[in-house]
């Protein structure tokens, strides 16, 4: 999908069957309406991963992991839109900023023109969007690979996508509710809305007005039998979108509120920046299970807000629209940045690690005016509350790296924006040395490769060509953190 063209520029066979549509695409391309993007991911920090499974959907896997990513970190899967690539989404969406700030790894699946003439995920094909099949299974295999590579927390895996990627996100949430704790559907469509090219057009331009129960049943029938736990879902939609009509957001809301067993009347609404209205739908515990973000006047694309502010992200471009940072609000909704009920107090500054032992990490920060207490988060999950501007986290594993943020809590009990993350490693870890070829280091997870070159896991130090002939000694100084030490490494 794109701002000026549909989400289904899919296979050469399908295109031959819709000649009028092809003519329209050609006209748009001639006037600069389409964005030509290289299919190869080359952005700094983005690494291709191979050998992640049987890959029946013929997709490519790219990842980004911040330096010193702690064990048990969350994982976010981000699906690009039509005519885009993994590197394009990495560069524009803003997700790498929050991976760094909140301490999680990114997986960016990539399709190609070999699968689909305009590099769209085939969300409308049952053989590519159902559990255990095609592209859907390839994405699931990428999750398994990334969890193994980074030691991720399988309870905190999330998925998001734009346009065709958003539609595929909805299908993945339906097919794999046991894998994903949450999702975000940006300018996308309800799960299992289409079963072929003809119905896909109907869904995009005039979505069926099914009852919430009918939409919900499409999800329940796609999920494993007996599923009772469902992912939390954010829905992003521009009111001026002419490619994926805004009615899709309403149908998505109906679908996922029904799955959760809650009504379609918002529990609360709130005005955000960029002309955005947030409508939240709470579960029985009072926690928002479904949130709808309606961006007034926005066309087809991903909402971004370029800038250096804590709530800003991304860069504007074709299908990346300067309105509000959707990635920030989505991460907060999932709890990655310290909770979804964001108060008005600013983020604490000066968060510092003041000391470590083999089982504790001590922190301090500058007090925030108006704060009655502070929430402390480890790896995005709250682990403590304190009335002072300091905290000691205890009961930790020896020689392990952890990521921390803190947020000020106001008189209503709402936590404000989280601080930038700091990383601390408990003492007691015994360094180990490993001498091997760059290829074997990569196979063992001590290094990763990008563009034919190898880089040490954690430190990111360059190791030269990725092959079996170039060898180095890597010293592991912390769990998941290696440095090149060819001059007499000792444990």
Is residue 403 within 8 A of residue 70, CB to CB? The reply is: yes
Is residue 431 within 8 A of residue 475, CB to CB? The reply is: yes
Q: Is 354 helix (H, G, I), strand (E, B) or coil?
A: strand
Residue holding tokens 């992640």?
A: 52
Q: CA 231 to CA 234: how far, in whole Å?
A: 10
Residue 117 phi, psi dihedral angles, 5° rounding: -55, -30
Is residue 89 within 8 A of residue 80, CB to CB? The reply is: yes
Residue holding tokens 């391309």?
A: 29
Q: CA 398 to CA 429: how far, in whole Å?
A: 6
Picking from 480, 489, 320, the residue whose alpha carbon sits closest to that of residue 403 is 480
Q: CA 126 to CA 136: how far, in whole Å?
A: 10
DSSP state of 466: -
Residue 452 phi, psi dihedral angles, 5° rounding: 85, 5
Strands (E), 51-130: 60-64, 75-79, 105-110
Q: CA 430 to CA 423: how far, in whole Å?
A: 19
Q: Is 163 a catalytic residue?
A: yes
Picking from 304, 187, 194, 302, the residue whose alpha carbon sits closest to that of residue 246 is 187
Residue holding tokens 């690539």?
A: 85
Choose the catalytic residue: 4, 11, 85, 163.
Answer: 163
Cα–Cα distance list, 125 to 10, 23, 191, 215, 396 (Å): 10, 23, 12, 18, 46
Q: CA 302 to CA 318: how far, in whole Å?
A: 9
Four-CA torsion 165, 166, 167, 168, nearest 10 degrees: 50
Is residue 29 within 8 A of residue 212, CB to CB? The reply is: no
Cα–Cα distance list, 176 to 213, 374, 388 (Å): 20, 35, 42
> Active-site residues: which are they?
163
């Amino acid at each position: 999908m794109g701002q000026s063209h549909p989400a289904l520029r899919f296979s050469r066979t399908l295109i031959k069957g819709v000649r009028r549509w092809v003519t329209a695409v050609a006209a748009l391309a001639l006037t600069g309406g389409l964005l030509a993007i290289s299919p190869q991911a080359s952005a700094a920090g983005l690494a291709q991963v191979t050998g992640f499974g049987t890959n029946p959907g013929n997709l490519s896997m790219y990842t980004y992991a911040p330096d010193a990513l702690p064990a048990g970190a969350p994982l976010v899967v981000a699906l690009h839109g039509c005519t885009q690539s993994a590197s394009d989404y990495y560069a524009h969406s803003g997700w790498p900023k929050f991976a760094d700030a909140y301490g999680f790894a990114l997986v960016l699946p990539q399709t190609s023109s070999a699968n689909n003439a305009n590099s769209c995920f085939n969300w409308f094909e049952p053989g590519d969007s159902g559990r255990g099949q095609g592209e859907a299974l390839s994405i699931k295999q990428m999750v398994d690979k990334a969890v193994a590579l980074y030691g991720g927390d399988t309870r905190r895996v999330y998925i998001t996508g734009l346009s065709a990627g958003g539609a595929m996100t909805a299908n993945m949430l339906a097919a794999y509710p046991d894998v994903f704790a949450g999702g975000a559907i940006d300018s996308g469509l309800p799960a299992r809305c289409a079963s072929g090219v003809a119905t896909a057009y109907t869904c995009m331009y005039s979505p069926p007005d099914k009852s919430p129960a009918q939409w919900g049943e499409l999800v329940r029938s796609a999920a494993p039998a007996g599923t009772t736990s469902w992912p939390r879902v954010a829905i992003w939609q521009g009111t001026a979108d002419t490619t994926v009509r805004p009615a899709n957001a309403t149908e998505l809301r109906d679908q996922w509120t029904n799955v959760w067993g809650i009504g379609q009347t918002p529990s609360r609404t709130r005005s955000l920046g960029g002309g955005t209205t947030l409508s939240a739908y709470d579960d029985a515990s009072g926690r928002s299970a479904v949130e709808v973000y309606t961006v007034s006047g926005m066309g087809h694309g991903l909402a971004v807000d370029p800038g250096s502010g804590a709530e800003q992200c991304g860069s504007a471009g074709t299908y990346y629209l300067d309105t509000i940072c959707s990635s920030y609000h989505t991460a907060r909704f999932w709890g990655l940045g310290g909770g979804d009920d964001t108060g008005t107090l600013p983020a604490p500054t000066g968060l510092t690690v003041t000391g470590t032992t083999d089982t504790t990490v001590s922190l301090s920060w500058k007090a925030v005016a108006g704060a009655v207490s502070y929430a402390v988060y480890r790896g995005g999950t709250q682990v403590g509350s304190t009335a002072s501007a300091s905290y000691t986290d205890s009961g930790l594993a020896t020689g392990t790296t952890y990521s921390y943020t803190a947020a000020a809590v106001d008189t209503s009990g709402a936590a404000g924006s989280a601080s930038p993350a700091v990383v601390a490693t408990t003492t007691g870890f015994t360094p180990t040395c490993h001498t091997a070829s760059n290829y074997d280091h990569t196979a063992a997870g001590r290094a990763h490769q990008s563009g034919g070159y190898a880089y040490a896991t954690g430190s990111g130090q360059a190791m030269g060509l990725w092959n079996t002939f170039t060898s180095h000694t890597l010293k592991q100084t912390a769990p998941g953190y290696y440095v090149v030490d060819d001059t007499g490494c000792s444990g």
